[in-house]
Amino acid sequence: MGLNDQWMQRDLKVLWHPCTQMKDHEQLPLIPIRRGEGVWLEDFEGKRYLDAVSSWWVNVFGHANPRINQRIKDQVDQLEHVILAGFSHQPVIELSERLVAMTPAGLDRVFYADNGSSCIEVALKMSFHYWHNTGKPQKKRFVTLTNSYHGETIAAMSVGDVPLFTETYKALLLDTIKVPSPDCYHRPEGMGWEEHSRNMFAAMEQTLAEHHQTISAVIIEPLIQGAGGMRMYHPAYLKLLREACDRYDVHLIHDEIAVGFGRTGTMFACEQAGIRPDFLCLSKALTGGYLPLAACLTTDKVYQAFYDDYPTLRAFLHSHSYTGNPLACAAALATLDIFEQDNVIEQNKALATRMASATAHLADHAHVAEIRQTGMALAIEMVKDKTSKTAYPWQERRGLKVFEHALTRGALLRPLGSVVYFLPPYVITPEQIDFLAEVASEGIDIATRESVSVAVPANFHPDFRDPG
């Protein structure tokens, strides 16, 4: 038995992995990783895999980045953790100052959580509690887009709309209002992204007009709906939404957990519409992929609604044990240093162009309906029928075939259902992008060449998908 197999067997005796049907590992080998460097992950037998998905969208400057490593090493000798209630520390103060300075003007307060889902819970609770504190307790519902994903804690699931993640838990979820997504994949032939996104805003306008007196906030993933299949839309929608939320006195929550920190081509997606949300949720790339940390930024207006004498019980009594952890803050500060010193956003433009050119040939593939891209996120949608955009039944797991082929070629490509996507670290080279395009092309050929027979149950849900 090789080293990989030994570690795999030990793992399968004790671990329960996330977002995984564990029975799959009876056929699909689990890959234990020994070390990482740059865009590469290396297993216990020396085989390397190019991390095309940034280890679930978190790693932006490569594994074992020397600058981030050193900042954490320096911090661990000073302070590993301290309670953030009644106490503070240098890394969390400096990080908060920098986040306030670099985000849209008016986001002047930072509240920390441990991860993306928890950050969403913070924003939802803050919005609801704000209206309670300001004498409008009837404003307690949330509006979300169809096909959205905001995390897997209960309230975060409630404002999501990917059935695979929410269907089982319907009885536990909040009553939310779902509005059709501006996703441009299904736009009419000949219509551009901006026109379609503007047209799709009519449903949101109507919803706010009819229900604004009971709506606390609208929550969206700006520009890219990640777990919903990397579906994308135009910034014009964000501008229209900001204007409508102002008119109807409703909060706007931007979930930039996946798309913040340069992924869409600007540091934050909201910049492309020239707007400022009332709550900006950040995580994932915030620490360069090193440690769990999330930040919910909001306005001083929201902050002041909670600022009062303790007996009024207006305080936001929400906490996490590791809130503002110094080691995580140190990693985040090092990450922001790299953004600032290396002109990352500008350099990414050339990489994004290379991603587009390297995959352009797939537009002619008989089973590729669309290649779409926003900044450093590119998605290739495989379909059963190109003309009608008829999707493959999700039970066929076509994306899994791409994943399995990529592993044999030394790449970690983990599709979302039938959507193959690149979301690589920003330290990837043009040649490595070409390699990924080659591997993806081979995988798509293999995945779409074979006829797959699966039993489709009577309660078939066409919107379910392999989560990737």
pLDDT in tens, 44-68: 999 999 999 999 999 999 999 999 9
Q: Which helix (H) or strand (E) holds 145?
A: strand 141-145
3-class SS of residue 126: helix
Residue 289 is assigned to a ligand binding site: no
Residue 320 is assigned to a ligand binding site: yes
- Confidence check: pLDDT of 311 > 90: yes
Residue 320 pLDDT: 94
Q: What value does the mean pLDDT take over residues 422-429?
A: 98
Residue 116 is assigned to a ligand binding site: yes
Q: Which two tokens stand for residue 417?
A: 């259902």
Q: Could you give the CA distance from residue 422 to residue 379 in angstroms, rounded to a whole number?
A: 6
Q: Could you give the CA distance from residue 261 to residue 285 in angstroms, rounded to a whole number?
A: 6
Which residue shows structure tokens 């991603």?
355
pLDDT in tens, 185-206: 999 999 999 999 999 999 999 9
Using CA atoms, how far residue 305 sits from 37, 103, 125, 278, in Å, is 46, 22, 13, 13
Residue 452 pLDDT: 73
Using CA atoms, how far residue 425 sits from 224, 429, 467, in Å, is 17, 10, 21
Q: Which two tokens stand for residue 386?
A: 């190109």
Residue 56 is assigned to a ligand binding site: yes
Give the chain's mean pLDDT: 96
Angle at which helices 326-341 and 90-102 cross, to 10°? 40
Bridge partners of 143, per DSSP, are 177, 218
Residue type, 403: F
CB 384 within 8 A of CB 390: yes
Residue 88 is assigned to a ligand binding site: no
Residue 197 is assigned to a ligand binding site: no
- What is the layout of strands, in order, in the sheet containing 40-43? 33-37, 40-43, 48-51, 411-412
Residue 35 is assigned to a ligand binding site: no
Q: Could you give the CA distance from residue 65 to residue 458 in angstroms, rounded to a whole number?
A: 50
More confident residue, 450 or 408: 408
CB 118 within 8 A of CB 312: no
pLDDT in tens, 106-161: 999 999 999 999 999 999 999 999 999 999 999 999 999 999 999 999 999 999 99
- Confidence check: pLDDT of 458 > 80: no
Residue 321 is assigned to a ligand binding site: yes
pLDDT in tens, 237-257: 999 999 999 999 999 999 999
Helices (H), 51-89: 54-57, 66-76
Quickly state the pLDDT bin for 295 (edges 50, 70, 90).
Answer: very high
Residue 149 is assigned to a ligand binding site: yes
Residue 262 is assigned to a ligand binding site: no
pLDDT in tens, 324-348: 999 999 999 999 999 999 999 999 9
